[in-house]
Chains A and B, each alone.
Chain A
Amino acid sequence: MKHLLTPRAILLASALAIAPAAWAETPADTLVVAAAIDDIISLDPAQSFEFSGNDVNQNTYDRLVDFDPLDMEAGFKPSLAESWEVSEDGLSITFKMREGVTFHSGNPVRAEDAAWSLHRAVKLDKTPAFILTQFGFTADNVEEKITFDDTTLTLHMDKPYAPTFVLNCLTANIASVVDKETVMANAEGEDLGNTWLNTNEAGSGPFVLAGWRPNEAVQFTAYEDYYQGAPAMKRVVVRNVAESSAQRLLLEQGDIDAARNLSPTDVESIGAVEGVKIQDEPRGRILYMGLNQKDPVLSNPQVIEAMKHLVDYDGIANSFLKGTFVPHQSILPKGYLGALEDLPWTYDVAKAKALIDEAGMSGKTITTKVRDLREYVDVAQALQASMAEAGLTLEIQQMTGAQVLDAYRARDVPIFLGEWGPDYSDPNTNAATFAYNPDNSDEAQATGLLAWRNAYAVPEAMNEATVAATLEQDGDKRAQMYLDIQKQYQAEAPIVPLFQRVENTGLRENVQNWNSGGSVTSVMYRQVTKGE
């Protein structure tokens, strides 16, 4: 009886326990990043519109103009275009192409490739296509509107748009320059290579895509012939790790160099760990509160005013959002041309209560839907508490992101709490969605506009100002126009910006020049180095 299988079981258990130890330290020429990358659907720059897909494009493609990762403040700079000239009437811009640049395939980067890439994006008409088509390009006219010869490319626009507006849009993912020969060799039917580019890459950027396994990992190798010099990191691996605590463990153990989705709690506790640092970077996303104007309570101007005073901006930012958001009360994120940094609203329940009483709305109940993401639910509950003090009842239904989005696009969310990320690095990206809504009818189905989703009939003057700002040639005047729009917006709009996202990246101490893309673009790896 004593010899029953127990000794063997013990032996097995101890064999399990002495499995080999984890590998400390990543190789010196390899950058290993843990991030939630399960949002990637497509790697085609004409289609990709998710954060992680854009991150991949950013590093594998070049654009006519790009940001310098070591000097983001400078804004767009020459890249595949060496220089450019705006015509006198402001209707066209001619780019002079840089010579001697090659794609990863070895093909030279020609003006033809750059023009074809833009034609292709317009013709495919995937979601991000509006970034280009807003300049008057359509599938039918784009070949006449975007022309090229051996060394130059010319954009012919339908209006004299502000050059900063056009150039900012050309830093967007969708303006990535793809290798025409390679893509067309892999095209299926009329798809202009879309199916192939969904999982492959044909760029000239600092990194070559070495592999993508969905929900698992993306791997890059350095492009040794990169025109700005080969990157220091010969290999970059981005591993999908969804859990913040797992990312933290990996970072502490030295198995990764960067952790991109640490929760506030993990950020706080990891700050004390030796060999690890936290880098804070303001990002472009804005957490806002949308008050649906179809709701009889929320469309009352006094209630709108009251709601702005029912958010405990500092309290929320300092408690559960700790470090991941900072109070921000205007529609343009800090870091954008003309961003307004005033914080006019204070947390003032007494004032809000007075306004609500005055409006005769005391005792009303609002039922809303909130995405079941901890941050949003926490904010909603804080709001619920302060609304209760001011005489309003907020009932919260938690739902998945997809469910809330469905309802929101159907104008069916009374108080929306969520984030909006800019689509490109120009102020128009947010102005055109928050402060522009030419037709507020249900039939308009302007589901892409935040103003429409909240049934906010934007005043005619503000609609016009938003359009006018895209045409202002003078950069300083243009910035002033956006400041004016934001001030007016703060005064009257029922959509209330609350916070701006801050990305806290956990890094090993030896990682230098990390850049998540600031408030305007995607992560960049080419300047990253690893010291001792």
Chain B
Amino acid sequence: MGGTLLSLVLTMLGLLLITFIIGRVMPIDPVLKVVGDRASQAQYDAAYQAMGLDRPLYVQFARYLGDVLTGDFGRSISTGQLVVDDIKRVFPATFELATLGTLIGVLIGVPLGVIAAARRGGIIDQVARVVALVGYSMPIFWLGLMGLLVFYGILGWVGGPGRQGIIYDGMVPTVTGLILVDSLIAGDWGAFQDAFSHIILPASLLGYFSLAYISRMTRSFMLEQLSAEYITTARVKGLSERAVIWRHAFRNIRIPLITVIALSFGSLLEGSVLTEIIFSWPGLGQYITKALLSGDMNAVLGGTVVVGTCFVALNLFSDILYRVLDPRSK
């Protein structure tokens, strides 16, 4: 366990260092973002110094690391606020979206993959393959806009862009930052419905992409199991097909499946940028992208730490589950 932790710390350190260097060699001048287009040279120089950019790179990085260790991620230049506060605000939005997206992906993707494998070549298998193919090849941007147009614009079934309808904006006190949860805590059913109507479309979109991946992986894991000898034995023993699939084959793919789901969740946390932009979702993806384009390195590094930590935590989590679930490791 100690070895794992050490490698995690080194991973994070490496991640920060690389991000830091990329940020510094990027041909974007963060000072201009602070002082704007019209600043005089004196104002520019003052800001340059105030941001510590006049010091050697290693000093800047050492200082940054020192600050981070004390929990100080600095101030974002594109929002003017503390990066910690920014992330506290934007992370729950992404987390809520990614969680629901993964949930949808798992609830549909896993059974779909299992059935597709069980009835290889059948109609459901064909459908699953098309679903996965479309999920891989369709630009998320286009799909998102079409979804908005149809379900919000024409049918009016779901809420529009944003996390909440305007009349509910700011009405529910923030406890967890997850609006679905917060509105339940506040006992505000209307706010919950409103938040649900806003999240369901982007979450379904993300869910679709994770579904495409999860169902494909489930299918191939299952196929591998179903061709194994013990399955033939079970069948010969006269076990029902249902028991063979769920009690034997499925049980054996749970572990790799957890890793797949964890990975998929991680990539939704990090990769939902376009979805967030289309749906005006004030989350981490939008935050980091915008920060990157302004050369706002404190914000980018802060966001990197969060995403990196999530990946590391998810890996750790699936490692632990591995140990718990896999009888061989006991």
Contact = CB atoms under 8 A, between A and B. Distances in A.
Chain B associates with chain A: yes
Interface of A: 1, 3-6, 8-9, 12-13, 16-24, 26-27, 30, 32, 38, 40-42, 49-50, 125-130, 198-199, 210-211, 213-217, 219, 237, 239-243, 245-246, 249-250, 252-253, 255-256, 400, 402-403, 405-406, 409, 423, 445-448
A21 B38 contact: no
Interface in B103-136: 104, 107-108, 111-112, 114-115, 118-119, 124
B193 interface: yes
B51 to A, nearest CB: 13
A27 B167 contact: yes
Contacts of B162: 239, 241
* Most chain A CB inside 10 Å of its own CB: which residue of B40, B107, B241, B286: B40
7 contacts: A4-B114, A210-B170, A214-B86, A256-B166, A402-B294, A405-B29, A406-B27
Contacts of A130: 38, 40
Contacts of A3: 242
Contacts of B303: none
B111 to A, nearest CB: 4
B53 interface: no
Contact of B159 (A22, A199, A245, A252): A22
Interface stretch (B57-65, B77-85, B223-231, B311-319): B77-85
B34 interface: yes
A402 B114 CA distance: 50
B286 A215 contact: yes
Interface in B288-330: 290, 293-295
Nearest to B33: A402
B229 to A, nearest CB: 22
Nearest to A4: B115
Contacts of A213: 89, 282
A23 B167 CA distance: 9
B79 A41 contact: yes
Interface stretch (B144-152, B251-259, B262-270): B144-152
Contact of A4 (B111, B148, B277, B280): B111
Given A249-B160, A402-B295, A447-B44, A20 B28 contact: no
B41 A445 contact: yes
The size bracket of the interface on B is 35 or more
Interface in B134-182: 145, 148-149, 152-153, 156-162, 165-167, 169-170
B33 A42 contact: no
A6 B111 contact: yes
B40 A448 contact: yes
A253 B152 contact: yes
B196 interface: yes
A253 B160 contact: yes
Contact of B166 (A30, A198, A246, A448): A30
B153 A19 contact: no
Interface of B: 27-29, 32-41, 43-44, 46, 76-81, 86, 89-90, 104, 107-108, 111-112, 114-115, 118-119, 124, 145, 148-149, 152-153, 156-162, 165-167, 169-170, 193-194, 196-197, 200, 204, 241-242, 277-280, 282, 286-287, 290, 293-295
Contacts of B158: 19, 21-22
Given A4-B114, A448-B38, 20 more contacts: A1-B119, A3-B242, A19-B157, A22-B160, A26-B166, A30-B166, A30-B167, A32-B166, A38-B290, A50-B36, A125-B43, A126-B35, A127-B39, A127-B43, A213-B89, A215-B90, A217-B170, A237-B166, A243-B161, A246-B148
B78 A240 contact: no
Contacts of A403: 27-28
Given A22-B160, A198-B80, A215 B108 contact: no
Contact of B80 (A4, A42, A250, A445): A42
B27 A243 contact: no
B277 A243 contact: yes
B160 A250 contact: yes
A301 to B, nearest CB: 29
A237 B32 contact: no
A6 B279 CA distance: 30
A499 to B, nearest CB: 19
A41 B78 contact: yes
Nearest to A255: B160
Contacts of B149: 249
A45 B280 CA distance: 27
B285 to A, nearest CB: 11
Nearest to B193: A20
Contacts of A409: 32
Contacts of A6: 111, 115, 124
Nearest to A47: B80
A222 B32 CA distance: 35
Given A21-B156, A252-B153, A402-B294, A5 B78 contact: no
Pairs of residues from A and B, 6 with the lowest C-beta to C-beta distance, nearest first = A5-B111, A214-B79, A216-B282, A246-B161, A445-B41, A402-B28
A215 B119 CA distance: 48
B162 to A, nearest CB: 6
A400 B282 contact: no
A254 B118 CA distance: 48
Contact of B200 (A16, A127, A252, A255): A16
B81 A19 contact: no
B29 A402 contact: yes
B294 A242 contact: no
B115 A241 contact: no
B225 to A, nearest CB: 16
A214 B85 CA distance: 11
A21 B21 CA distance: 47
